[in-house]
Copies of this chain bind each other. A is one copy, B any other.
Amino acid sequence: MSEKGETCRHSKTEKIQMKKDKLKKEPTMQFLLEVVEILTNYVKKTFDRSTKVLDFHHPHQLLEGMEGFNLELSEQPESLEQILVDCRDTLKYGVRTGHPRFFNQLSTGLDIVGLAGEWLTSTANTNMFTYEIAPVFVLMEQLTLKKMREIVGWPDGEGDGIFSPGGAISNMYSVMIARYKFFPEVKTKGMTAAPRLILFTSEHSHYSIKKASAALGLGTENLILLKTDERGRVIPADLEAKVIEAKQKGSVPLFVNATAGTTVYGAFDPINEIADICEKYNIWLHVDGAWGGGLLMSRKHRHKLSGVERANSVTWNPHKMMGVPLQCSAILVRERGLLQGCNSMCAGYLFQPDKQYDVTYDTGDKAIQCGRHVDIFKFWLMWKAKGTVGFEQHIDKCLDLSAYLYNKIKNREGYEMVFDGEPQHTNVCFWYFPPSLRSIPNGEESRERLHKVAPKIKAMMMESGTTMVGYQPQGEKVNFFRMVISNPAATMSDIDFLIEEIERLGQDL
């Protein structure tokens, strides 16, 4: 027995050595499976509330190197064993964005089917520009975009669209297409071929509209910011007044962006009233539903985007409210042909007309990109796995949780809501007043001190690693917390935990 045992089994040291030897060789399936083990352990821990959301270090600390984790690149290869350690350390010093208590961004959570979809996408490692090399993905994109257009409410899902690398680029597309629709000669002659073009968007809208106006040569001064009500929604009368003013100055109002779910307040601009004005003055209406588009999947909440079917284009990021892994953003266009007309350059080496299949399926010439990452598969796969009803349940649940948070703190001592009334989206914006601030009368001193509260609490949260939530100022309002919920793993107990944590960390400030 003893002899047999010795020949069959290896000592622990021997096993480690064998593992080391194996890993010195070419990376193989074995190596990949070792990485998978690291990743599945990470995923399990992500969902475990006793795990920290992050293990915070300052840039200089990580740059100096943490116990064997050296970011520097070198001439000679590292062993695969060290590569595995590097993978572990990369995750260790990162942030668990799927953790049930990570509330810092609009994109949170870690959907297992979506993750599997993304792993398959990386394995397929192809490019969306032609049907030739991405037949299945190109068709999935086409069908999914049609489905999204149906949900927007365009007849028979007609129109066009494309997945782009994020909401900012989707919004940029919308401005480009609007310009092409009204002034197609800009494509060949440049902006000097057009009159002075004016864009309109709310003070509360996403900064990508401003980035687009700069990039596309319109100029940020030709982007007019619209006033909002106390809830952050555009005041339509202000839009009309500014349209008239622009026309009187000899400019051409080109484009209005209505936000469906603003970044900070989660406000929905009144699309129907804005659409009336756009129709009256013949202006392109874009709806930026990067954040709020997901609510279209919910019978209970989709009324907040009422009128979206009147838009000429819509941005909708499934990687936000629908829990799809990053990146997944669609720009939808009501009129067919504009995307192609605006962007096509007919590169002969990529889009040969004499291929054996129907080349209208090639998508590359519609894009401002050439190569384009496959963003569709994970979304398609999640839709298959959840069904439309699954997305609806997820969205309704997140909105219920935010209502729970709102009701919990609206009359709680030490809290003040940034705006009155139940939030339209999952954004709950509030100030926390530490006990020492509660007795100070409103005034400059109080404001100055309150402005520092959220950053201080946030810093402590990050250092203790227990939870993460965003904060920012807005206009005249000093720093406040912006809570958002898009994580399917979050529950009421996590909301309770956040509030306890704010109070624990903030009580002595």
Contact = CB atoms under 8 A, between A and B. Distances in A.
> Which among A94, A98, A222 has the greatest number of chain B C-beta atoms within 10 A?
A94
A345 B207 contact: yes
Given A75-B389, A78-B387, A387-B75, A93 B136 contact: yes
A15 interface: no
Nearest to A213: B190
A86 interface: yes
Interface in A331-384: 342-343, 345, 347-350, 352, 354-358, 361, 367-374, 377, 380-381, 383-384
A403 interface: no
Contacts of A172: 368
Interface in A137-192: 137, 139-140, 143-144, 147, 165-169, 172, 176, 186-192
Contacts of A486: none
Contacts of A56: 135
A390 B26 CA distance: 12
Given A63-B139, A191-B190, A472-B348, A368 B455 contact: no
Nearest to A127: B326
B343 A211 contact: yes
A166 B369 contact: yes
B83 A168 contact: no
Nearest to A38: B120
A196 interface: yes
A35 B206 contact: no
Interface string A212-236: 0111111111100000000000000
A208 B349 contact: no
A144 to B, nearest CB: 7
Given A78-B387, A97-B133, A166-B371, A127 B107 contact: yes
Q: How many copies does the complex hold?
A: 2
A87 interface: yes
B39 A123 contact: yes
A35 B112 CA distance: 11
Interface in A94-151: 94-95, 97-98, 104-105, 107, 110, 112-113, 115-116, 118-120, 122-127, 131-137, 139-140, 143-144, 147
Contact of A168 (B73, B93, B370): B370
A499 interface: no
Nearest to A95: B133
Contact of A94 (B134, B190, B210): B134
Contacts of A143: 71-73
A150 B206 CA distance: 36
A281 interface: no
> Which among A120, A352, A358 has the greatest number of chain B C-beta atoms within 10 A?
A120
Interface string A251-273: 00000000000011000000000
A208 B370 contact: yes
Contact of A186 (B105, B125, B219, B473): B219
A166 B372 contact: yes
Contacts of A370: 166-168, 206-208, 211
A385 B76 contact: no
Given A219-B193, A327-B373, A31 B116 contact: yes
A91 B123 CA distance: 9
A219 B373 contact: no
B352 A472 contact: yes
A431 interface: no
A388 interface: yes
A264 B352 CA distance: 13
A490 to B, nearest CB: 15
Listed from nearest, the 10 A-B pairs whose CB atoms lie closest are A217-B217, A190-B219, A191-B191, A356-B459, A118-B122, A165-B165, A191-B217, A349-B472, A77-B387, A27-B112
5 contacts: A58-B357, A86-B384, A165-B373, A186-B217, A348-B473
